[in-house]
Amino acid sequence: MLFQRFLNTISTVLPDRLMGDMDALTRLNPKKIYLENVRSVLGVSASTAQRICDTGVRQGAFEKWVEVVCPNGAVAASAKVEESLPETVRCWTDDHEEVYLPTRDLRKTVFYRLNE
């Protein structure tokens, strides 16, 4: 059901000939859809991938989320809006030490979720 909604959303933006690798589409995590995954799987530009995801949000098929990423690449927290992220997050150093870092100083990544 979620996958079908995802395909319906994509098909409103792309013609059938550009639908990309259907097998790769089925392997995307419906709870974390990154723009780069959409771009790569469908073989489209970054701006077209953005349009697809924005269309999904407007149609109610997707929710837009943001995550904060620790220096080691681990996701520390995620929320529907950046203002809802915690002020500090727990990260781990290469020496396996626990540190608390200000969220404002860390990289944020936007991702999308399929609405259930």
Q: What is the pLDDT of residues 56-65, one digit of tens each?
A: 899 888 899 9
How far is the C-alpha of 100 from the C-alpha of 94, rounded, in Å?
14
- Tell me the mean pLDDT in the region 77-89: 97
Instruction: State the pLDDT at residue 17.
Output: 47
Q: List, as one string, the DSSP characters of 7-53.
A: HHHHHHHS-GGG---HHHHHTS-TT-B-HHHHHHHHT--HHHHHHHH
Rounded to two decimals, the pTM is 0.79
**Predicted confidence (pLDDT) per residue in 10-28, tens digit:** 666 555 544 555 666 677 8
